[in-house]
Amino acid sequence: MACHVMHQYPENWPVGSTQKSGVLFHGTKDTLICGEYGTNPVLLSGRVPDVPKTLCRIEVSHEQDWICACKESPESHVPTASDFKDAGPFNEMVVMGVLAVRLQEPNKSLTWDVPEMNFTNITDTDKLTLSKTESITAKEFAAGLIRHNYREGWTLPDMPV
C-alpha cells in the first residue's frame, strides 16, 4: 500500500518557497513565517515587516558572535545576542529535563532542593544502567550534570530567583 504525504500550506504561502523548516506565527492580524533564528521573515499578507532594530543583530553566525565575545577585552565587552547570562540558566533547565528522563530508572518521584541544587531522596543504592555491563549511582550521575568542575576563571551566573 502506497502512502502519500500531502503538504497543506497556509493561504498566501510564497510561491516557490523552498523553506523546509523554521517557525510559523499565526496571529489575529497576520501570519509570519521565518527560518531558524528568525531569518528571512515574511508576512503572508504581503506586507513588509517594519520592526525597529533594538537588539543586537547577528551579522555572520551565532558561532562567530560567540568567538568575538570570547576574544574581546573586558573593557570593550558587548554581550552576545544569546548572552551567557541567559544561556546558563537555559542550559540548567535542559539538564533538568535530561535528569528527569535518565532518573526514571530508580522508579520514584524525585524531590528537588532548589537552593542546594540536588535531589533529596536519591539514595546511595539507586543505580542507573549505562550498558549491559556498566552502571553508575544515580547520585553520581546527577551530580556530574548539575555541578560541573569549570576551568580556572570560568563560571556561570547564578540562577535567577
Average pLDDT over residues 140-152: 76
Q: Centre a 10 Å sphere on the Cβ of residue 107 and count the other Cβ atoms it contains.
A: 7
Residue 90 corresponds to which cell in the numbers above?
537555559
Its sign, for the CA torsion 145, 149, 155, 160, is positive
pLDDT of 3 higher than 60: no
DSSP per residue over 115-133, as a string?
TTTEESS--TT-EEE-SSS
Its sign, for the CA torsion 59, 62, 63, 68, is positive
Distance CA 112, CA 156 (A): 20
104 vs 157, which has greater pLDDT? 104
Using alpha carbons, select from 142, 53, 50 the residue that is nearest to residue 96: 142
What percentage of the chain exceeds 90 in pLDDT? 2
28 vs 130, which has greater pLDDT? 28
Find the angle CA(17)-CA(38)-CA(55) to the nearest 5 degrees: 150
> Model confidence over 58-114: pLDDT tens digits?
777 878 888 888 888 888 877 787 777 787 778 777 877 888 787 877 788 888 887
Average pLDDT over residues 6-17: 70
pLDDT of 151 higher than 80: no
pLDDT of 148 higher than 80: no
Residue 125 corresponds to which cell in the numbers above?
543504592
Query: Where in the chain does DSSP place strands (E)?
Result: 23-26, 31-34, 42-43, 112-113, 118-119, 127-129, 135-137
Distance CA 9, CA 18 (A): 12
pTM value?
A: 0.44
